[in-house]
Every structure is written in C-alpha cells, then in structure tokens.
Amino acid sequence: MTETRWLDATEMAAWRAFVSTTHLLERRIEEQLKSAAGLTHPQYEVLVWLAEAPGRQMRMSELARVVVASKSALTYQITQLEKAGLVQRTTCPSDERGVLAVITEAGLECLRRVAPGHVDVVRAYLIDQLTREELESMTTAMRKTEQALRR
C-alpha cells in the first residue's frame, strides 16, 4: 500500500481556490441563464454546440462527449429543450440507429437573445479579472487536466 501524498499548503490553496471559484461562477451563470430564458447552463451549452455545428446538428453521442454529460443526462436535457421548441431530434440519415439533435430557429433566436448576458457574466467574473498571460496559463493548465481526465 502506498502512502497518501497529502496536499501541501500551496497545493491546498490552489485546490480550494479552484473549487470555490468554479462553484461561485457556475452559480452566477445559472442565475443569469434562468432569469434570461429559463435555461440551465447545460442546456445553454447544448444550444451553443448545436448552433456552431455543421448543419446546426450533432449526433447525440458526440454531443454528450463535448458537453461532458452522460447519455442519459444529455437525453434529459434534450427532452427539456425539445419541449421548449428549441431543439428537435431526428434519425441520422447515414445510420438509422443514430440520433441527431438539431437546433431549431426558436433555439437560435433564444441563443441570440441570451448570449450577450451570458458573455457579460463570463467576462465580468472571469475573463476581465485576469491578464492575457494568466488566461493563457489557465488555458494550458486546464487543457492538461482535461486531457488527463479524458484518457
């Protein structure tokens, strides 16, 4: 059995800052999206990915991967967005077993309306708080962590 490598003071400070900041930022984002459009942050992310995808559609399996959600969690979010008329599901033309999520015109309009407020929150509480160099360092660090988690 190996010894636990406990966090030293610097490591603990980084961990606690990361945890509290991500929770606080997520709360601000959720508040803004709920008040602006009744959306959750995962629902907003789904709309963004679909709006940016070729043909404004993605296979559900690929969408689950990029929004970092289980297939069942994504299915729930898509169902809610479908009920709101923002997304629709269709069969993949090249694979009858595949399902595509497609953003609707109403979904695009919702995104156009909500995105400026979302960007304002992200900018005010994250982007504008950091220098360009800090943003680049954060990107490098988070991508390293993401790659380790995706392996």
Does pTM surpass 0.85? yes
Could you identify the residue written with the tokens 């709360």?
Answer: 27
pLDDT score at 150: 87
**Comparing C-alpha atoms, which of 9, 10, 64, 58 is closest to residue 42?**
64
Q: Report the phi/psi class of residue 114: left, alpha or beta, with left for phi > 0 and alpha for psi in -120 to 50.
A: alpha
Q: What is the full DSSP assignment across 20-69?
A: HHHHHHHHHHHHHHHHHHS--HHHHHHHHHHHHSGGGEEEHHHHHHHTT-
Structural domains of the chain, with CATH: 10-150 (1.10.10.10)
- pLDDT (tens digit, 9 = 90+) per residue, 31-49? 999 999 999 999 999 999 9
| Six-digit token string for 12 | 């603990």
Instruction: Work out whether strand 57-59 and strand 87-92 pair parallel, antiparallel, or are unpaired.
Output: unpaired
Instruction: Give kind and range of the element (H or E) at residue 125.
Output: helix 105-125
- Low-confidence stretches of the chain (pLDDT beneath 50): none
Give the pLDDT confidence score for residue 97 in this predicted structure: 81
| pLDDT at residue 93 in the model | 84
Phi/psi for 95 (5° steps) reads -155, 105
